[in-house]
Structure 1
Amino acid sequence: MSYSTSPDWADVEPIAQEDGDHPLAAIAYMDDYSEAMSYLRAVMAANEHSERALVLTEDIISMNPAHYTVWLFRAKTLFELGSDLREELTYLNAIALKYQKNYQIWHHRQLIMEKLGDPTGEGKFIAQMFEKDAKNYHVWSYRQWLVRHFSLWDSPTELSDIQSLLLADVRNNSAWNHRFFLIFGRQEQYPSFTPLPETVKRETEYAKTAVYSAPQNPCPWVFLRGILKKTKQPLSTIQSFAAEFAPFERPDEVKSSHALDVLADIFAETEGRKEDAVKVLDLLAQRYDPIRANYWRYKKARLTPIPMATTAAAA
């Protein structure tokens, strides 16, 4: 579309981009994009919120969907005109599916959802996005915002959706993170909140079952540690469970380096078991996680401080 020859834009004097007389690194924009932006500057300068302005923003977004200012102007125009926000969500769905890693789309969607005040249908669309990429950071961030904003902490569909994602991929760390967020995240808003004991028990058993299915998957181990920390239980609570996967006295039978890590931390804090902690850390450094050998040696060094030289030796 040529704005300079369109009768719909004949009354607008475009404002060209001003880069100064001798720009050091002028960007070589496409002619169509430069023209559209010059008309957007004019519209914004006139504070015009109109249907043609919406069409203009849509044109620019089709050429540069990451243009943050255009999205903000579009949102303001939609609100000023009292536009159908459900239609805007339909438009956004197509854009988001096409440009999956675009942050600006999700910020715009959040503004629309705040104004709309009703998250109906969002879970279904998010599921579509996760079919494309189940670890899309922007989508997960948006989902957490939805939970906070609309108090969806106890929504059965939230937990069931996460169940489905973890059934499809038990190593989906993003899904594990969201599950933990559903259980404990509301403490950010309500510090006095404490999950019910039966909820904590359910989540603990869920994580343990996941460990049995994939002992070397770090996600459920981190999840278990998080539960214990949030509920102020000692790590030794899961000592016997970790020992099932890390019989360190029989190294050939160890099934999980993460279980060894748990045992090392437990032994380090247990009177009389520092030597066992050293054995476990040596196993991690030399056999089960050598890529992080320096880290395991560092932890070992903290358990075995260097003895101070005697006065006689110093002399």
Structure 2
Amino acid sequence: MALLEVNNLGVRFTRRDGPSVDVVQDVSFALDAGGTLGIVGESGSGKSQTVMALLGLLASNGQASGHAFLRGADLLAMKPAALNRIRGDRIAMIFQDPMTSLNPFLTIERQMTEALQLHRNATRREARKRAIEALERVRIPDAARRIGMYPHEFSGGMRQRVLIAAALMMEPDVLIADEPTTALDVTVQAQILALLREMNRERGTAIVLITHDMGVVAELCDDVMVMYAGRAVEKASASALFARPQHPYTAGLLGALPRLDAQVGAPLCTIPGNPPMPGGSGAGCAFAPRCAYAFERCRSEAPSLHSHGARSRACHLPADIALQAAPGVFV
């Protein structure tokens, strides 16, 4: 049995001024101990709402459906009290925005030691010592002094490192990282990725990484799930996906990456148009209006996710078609 198994996850938000909106539909994946899964896609594709649903952190008008089993226990069926005993301990999350994730009225020490005292019955002295050690691991200078400061006394990058330290300190079974290196310079980013790899290899911590940075995915992740308009459109090993994308959207994402071997002055490739509003894709494939390969069936029939060997994709194109992740396809 997988450590984390998600089946047919859906997220729906109700609105006062209109019909309900489905922002995530039929998302499934499995993650073994020591595995790493990257979830990629444009902003609004449903990446963050997928993991928020697993942790029971949706907004008050949000409702999750499906199943999400952590060591056999369904997270989506748990009552808040039971979920509170798991969050921050067996499953932890590094949130995307450090400014809103840290309480401005509490010191860093109070916010980092609370989980240790709650879940591990640590004394205040023991919890403070472990928190300082965690801050030092993410390269916070003078950690013993800074731990008594408030979030506004830290830079954005340092606040991000505090969140990472707090999550790593608990040594969870599953770590969900939502854009964990966005606010960090490249040197600190490399150090944080090294820490994540260390936890992954030495402790068997499973990692779900949400990111726009395909370089981070290539460096850290075993498998990749590409999301578009709330659905998974391709799932594959990282090596297979980078070598040969099988969905036009994946090919577009890879084609839009700057290349060191590109000719001087060559324009950057883009995917034309904009992603649909949540719940507004209509009939057919949601990506069809932006797809260079779309044909009549794509505009009238939404493709389902089918397996092709060790990978899956949602596309009407033949599985053996060669998609170009290079300049000239999406311009």
Same fold (TM over 0.5): no
Which of 1 and 2 has greater Rg?
1
Higher relative contact order (CA closer than 8 Å, sequence separation 6+): 2
Of Structure 1 and Structure 2, the greater strand share is in 2
| TM-score normalised over the length of structure 2 | 0.27
| TM-score normalised over the length of structure 1 | 0.28
Of Structure 1 and Structure 2, the greater helix share is in 1
